[in-house]
Amino acid sequence: GIQVEQSPPDLILQEGANSTLRCNFSDSVNNLQWFHQNPWGQLINLFYIPSGTKQNGRLSATTVATERYSLLYISSSQTTDSGVYFCALGAGSYQLTFGKGTKLSVIP
């Protein structure tokens, strides 16, 4: 099956700092999503981005499908951005395969 690798595994930021999270994958995809899992366990959709670039407020994402990676940018981080960020891929099969996540801690 498809392999998904996220980096870094852990990230600690000062409030207001910017960050880039990376997701590398091993195969062509027809679905790529970024999720934020908050401290209460909820999985919140951030982006559906099998290719191209999207922006939503302080967050943006870029997927370069031909080079098999996706990036999630968080600017001016806030404490509410803390949690785990997952990249999940669908490649031919129907279900999403999740990476192990990046645990982000934003400190005041």
Partner 1 sequence: DSGVTQTPKHLITATGQRVTLRCSPRSGDLSVYWYQQSLDQGLQFLIQYYNGEERAKGNILERFSAQQFPDLHSELNLSSLELGDSALYFCASSVGSGAEAFFGQGTRLTVV
**Of 59, 65, 98, 103, which one interacts with partner 1 (CB under 8 A)?**
98
Residue with smaller CB distance to partner 1, 13 or 84: 84
| Site map (CB under 8 A) of partner 1, residues 6-45, x = contact | ------------------------xx-x-x-----xxxxx
* Tokens of residue 37, six digits: 């899992």
Burial classification of residue 103, based on how many CB atoms lie within 10 Å of its CB (0-12 exposed, 13-18 middle, 19 or more buried):
middle
Classify residue 103 as left (phi > 0), alpha (psi -120 to 50) or beta. beta
Residue with smaller CB distance to partner 1, 9 or 16: 9
